[in-house]
Structure 1
Amino acid sequence: MSNPHRLTAFAIGMKINGLTRDQLLGHVAYNDETSSRTAHPQISEGIPEGFELISGGFRVNWPPGAGNLATASFPEIGSRWRARSKDHTHSSPATITAFSIALRKSLPGVGTVQRGESLTTSSQAAHPQTQTLIGTDFALTGIGAEALTNGPGQLLWRLEPVLSKQQPGAAVGSKDHEHSSPGTVRAFALGIKIVG
């Protein structure tokens, strides 16, 4: 069934005093890893030694078919970014690519990068939503979400940066689709500050 819609994209930029754009890019590591093709693909991507995970993302790579939709894109404990997706009701195997973005921990002439993070879990619902905010002393660098359910599945539909009461963070949402599958959704926010 046709269901035209609009999609809004967000970009989070970063500027660090004492570094030119080219110098900053020289301290950023960008990596990606693609899963094998399956109905519910998932993969995680790490970062190099001496770097701090500051963001990540995903891309679902499906051939023509019913579709394979995102269920998670979030920072795992440690220094990896995990991405998951699934087909729904109709078989539609695909691969998923996880992206990790990291910043060198020690920036010569500037200081040391300290990462902050925040995590909030929604209450259980058919269409759960929540937001998480990070302290005002951190600059937001990345956001993530993870949909959780024991049923046929929850699909992500919202993942956006927000500013609430001068605190940056993430607002996320997921939903069941065609089949009842109440669940929860987790919101993640990552940020950095320079110390020393």
Structure 2
Amino acid sequence: MPLFVKSRRTSLDTLRKRYDAATILDVTSRSSEPWIRFSPFYPHGGIPVPFSPGHFSYTVEGIWQGLKVFESADVDPGKLAIANMKGIKRTTRTFGKVLGHRTGLTGDKLLSYVEARRAIYLPSYKWVLENRLQNLLAELKQLSADQTVLLLDYETNCDLDDLSSPLSHAGLVKRYLEDDWYC
């Protein structure tokens, strides 16, 4: 049976009408245990920060936001220490235009958005899948073998190279389970 990534903003009634017997799992930061653990905001702890040997983050989102560089702000190592899923985002409204993501906390190179997805976000999220979520992945794999499973996410963009919207972490879960991870 297939796995589908669907928008959390779609009503459950609509999803149930379209996917009659599907299991619907919210994997966002607004979900509940255990599926909330798939959220990039979930504080797993011990996540290695790319290009920064000896540095770790509680969350994938902390790495993504912490290494982001703006017109008026450089990296923010404090984002790596946030364990309550609040106050992780850094916005252009506050800091101006995003210039890129730094190659580590002290790196001298800025990566473009697509380069940062490949070199920072993917390895960080994959590390969580492989080191913190194997039991839940096995459960998801078993569920999807028996029935259709819908993974709800705020974002539904599953194309790494589509920069028009943020990447869906539910899409990454789907790719991982289907042995279709990005090289």
RCO higher in 1 or 2 (8 Å CA, sep ≥ 6)? 2
Structures share a fold, TM > 0.5? no
Name which one, 1 or 2, has greater alpha-carbon Rg: 1
Give TM class, smaller chain: under 0.3
What TM-score, normalized by structure 1, do the two folds share?
0.24
